[in-house]
Amino acid sequence: MLIPIIILAIVFILIATRQIGNIRLQIWQIMLFGAIAVLITGQITPLDALISINLDVMLFLFGMFVIGRALEDSGYLSHLSYKFFKNAKTPDALLLVIIFGFGLLSAFLMNDTIAIIGTPVILLLAKKHEIPPKPLLLALAFAVTIGSATSPIGNPQNLLIAIN
């Protein structure tokens, strides 16, 4: 029981620091390390690990990434963001539109979808308005999280609870 907690703590610490000495780590590398660690220590069998993969979720996320990329490449995402954000004249107004707009959208659409499609929009807006993207991305994260908690279809966990 103690080994998985230690591995989890190490993974969290590495995600927070993303560095071991001079070695910079990506989040996927840290997560892979954690997965391999629980497999090597026998905390989960390889078969149980494979069985625990939800193919529906993986296909949904893959589809959302494909659709998000297609919307971005086609220019339609730029067109939608212009329509959505054209009245925000100041950085503060832009922040409010992001918080309330994406929060409302994530209440009616899956939060994963809004986060996937919203991220390139936010990066485009930050570049266009010459403001740092970090506060806008944080606003997107908060909006999507809070908005999705307000309805049973906002995130997969709420949907599973509502169905059962």
DSSP state of 151: S
Given a contact cutoff of 8 angstroms between Cβ atoms, the answer to whether 85 and 126 are in contact is no
Same domain (yes/no): 106, 66: yes
Same domain, yes or no: 114 and 39: no
For 10, 46, 54, 146, the CA distances from 33, given in Å and listed in that order, are: 10, 15, 20, 31
pLDDT tens sequence for the chain (164 residues) = 799 999 999 999 999 998 888 889 999 999 999 999 999 999 999 999 999 888 887 888 888 889 888 988 898 888 888 888 888 888 888 889 899 999 998 888 888 888 888 998 899 888 888 889 999 999 999 999 998 888 877 777 777 777 77
The pTM score is: 0.68
My answer on whether 77 and 32 are in the same domain is no
| Domain co-membership, 89 together with 21 | no
Q: Which domain holds residue 11?
A: 2-51
Within this chain, do residues 107 and 73 fall inside the same structural domain, yes or no? Answer: yes
pLDDT of residue 94: 86
Same domain assignment for residues 77 and 98? yes
Residues 97 and 129 in one domain: yes
Judge if 26 and 98 occupy the same domain: no
The number of distinct structural domains making up the chain is 2
Residue 20 sits at φ, ψ, to 5 deg, of -125, 105
Judgement on whether residues 62 and 38 belong to the same structural domain of the protein: no
Distance CA 37, CA 11 (A): 10
